[in-house]
Amino acid sequence: MERVEHSSKGTTVIRSAWKRSVVGGLIAALALAGCTAQDAVEEVDEAEPFVEEQEEVVPDVPRHPLTGVEVPAGSVTGPAIMAKIDHENRPYVNLHRADIVWQQLIPQNGTRFIAIWHSDVPDSVSYVRSFRPHDYTMASPFGGVLASTGLFSGVLPYLDALSGAGVQNVVWDYRGPEDRDLWRNTGKPYSAASSIEFAAADAQEQFGSLAAPVQYFNYLSDPAETTAVAKGEPATNVTVYFADAEKQGRNNYLVSKWEWDPADNVYKKVFLNGEPVLSETRDWVSGQTCGECVQLSATNLVVMSVEHDDIVGQPTARFTDGATGPAWVATGGQILKVNWTSGAIGVPFEFTDRDGDPVTLAPGQTWIMVFPGDASGPIITRSGGPGAGSISFD
């Protein structure tokens, strides 16, 4: 007898062998007949030995740790390259090539990104912005390199802690001979911090001795078997509010809006007026844009409601060890409410569905959006922010 179970880690084949055995209560029958074992003529079908249940895990195909795309064994090398990216200064540069993007709240009535590249590291990324306290918990599981423009003194312990967790911090304000060539100011007519460009591919080569990233999410090759598609409900439009929707629902810097495109099997990012949010490809050597702009898209959306604390005046996601809360995962035009749990620093977050099963995603790019939970409203308001966030979909 054989049963096959599939999971993101591989295929489990469970086999049981129940063999025929005939004994017929011989000892009891002999006792009732007053016979001894020597007097009786025994006719017994030999019983084949019982085979205990066996469990065999057939490993799944090798996957890229940040996209879940099937790759040749041993082909994943080199560190991940991360950068803090400005939300306001557009078009973005090579953001469309990131494997995973975090979108987070900042106190200046807006959001910023932590973009992570590994499967397709571009020459150049921009525009780079400053480090914030919750970058420590969001970035630490990926290892590699994190580029930021700077920070103020109250945030320095979190930058140091991230370094202690194994991430190589490269900071524009602290640049020296070893990393000076990885930076340049494009002279874009905006605030100086938003004019900064980072040489991502060169950074991956320079810090090539760092380890490759570990797998962050669970993936299944067939999107139809993923958690949201198998258990969720339709969601062709997903809108995430990083603030009070009534007060800030028309602020593009505090809203992340996505539309499902069944032709390309991805969610595409749009402004509130429906226009596409674009990213351009730029060459580091020439500094020129190469080709047309590309609309930002994602195969998977992960939305997390997280309580925030006021840390040195910064609204900071409460990702303490063992913290938990609601989340939503969208794949294949379907969405499902799930649960997130944070672990120790450097350990990927866990996501489980209502049955307690690990959440599985489809291979491709993933955006993670973190909005402040209901209890965080007063704290966010004191930090100069606009209150608690929310999610809507239809």
pLDDT tens readout for residues 169-189: 999 999 999 999 999 988 776
Q: Are residues 86 and 53 in the same domain?
A: no
pLDDT of residue 109: 72
Q: Are residues 16 and 110 in the same domain?
A: no
Residue whose pair of structure tokens reads 């005939």 in the numeric block: 22
Give the mean model confidence (pLDDT) for residues 154-174. Answer: 96
Total tally of structural domains belonging to the chain: 2
Q: Are residues 264 and 220 in the same domain?
A: yes
Q: Are residues 267 and 370 in the same domain?
A: yes
Q: Are residues 183 and 47 in the same domain?
A: no
Q: Are residues 12 and 145 in the same domain?
A: no
Which CATH number is 205's domain given? 3.50.90.10
ω into residue 348 within 30 of 0, thus cis?
Answer: no
Is 68 part of any domain?
A: no
Q: Are residues 98 and 50 in the same domain?
A: no
* pLDDT tens for each residue of 224-271: 999 999 999 999 999 999 988 888 878 898 999 999 999 999 999 999
pLDDT value at 11 more than 50 = no
Q: Are residues 22 and 151 in the same domain?
A: no
Of 294, 305, 303, 284, the residue nearest 376 (C-alpha): 305
Q: Which two tokens stand for residue 335?
A: 């969405």
Is 280 part of any domain?
A: yes
ω into residue 127 within 30 of 0, thus cis?
Answer: yes
How do beta strands 183-185 and 278-280 pair? unpaired
Give the mean model confidence (pLDDT) for residues 44-53. Answer: 48
Of 352, 350, 351, 363, the residue nearest 99 (C-alpha): 363
Is 32 part of any domain?
A: yes
Give the DSSP H or E segment for 316.
Answer: strand 314-317
Give the mean model confidence (pLDDT) for residues 16-39. Answer: 36
**What domain range is 37 assigned to?**
2-59
* pLDDT tens for each residue of 295-337: 999 999 999 999 999 898 888 999 999 999 999 999 999 999 9
Give the DSSP H or E segment for 26.
Answer: helix 26-33
Work out the burial of residue 54: count CB atoms within 10 Å of its CB; fewer than 13 is exposed, 13-18 middle, 19 or more buried. Answer: exposed
Q: Are residues 193 and 238 in the same domain?
A: yes
d(CA 240, CA 370): 9
pLDDT value at 10 more than 90 = no
Q: Are residues 38 and 163 in the same domain?
A: no
pLDDT value at 47 more than 60 = no
* pLDDT tens for each residue of 102-148: 999 987 678 999 999 999 999 999 999 999 999 999 999 999 999 99
What would the DSSP string read from start to end of 277-301?
A: PEEE-B-TTT--B-S--EE-EESEE
Q: Are residues 29 and 115 in the same domain?
A: no
Give the mean model confidence (pLDDT) for residues 272-290. Answer: 81
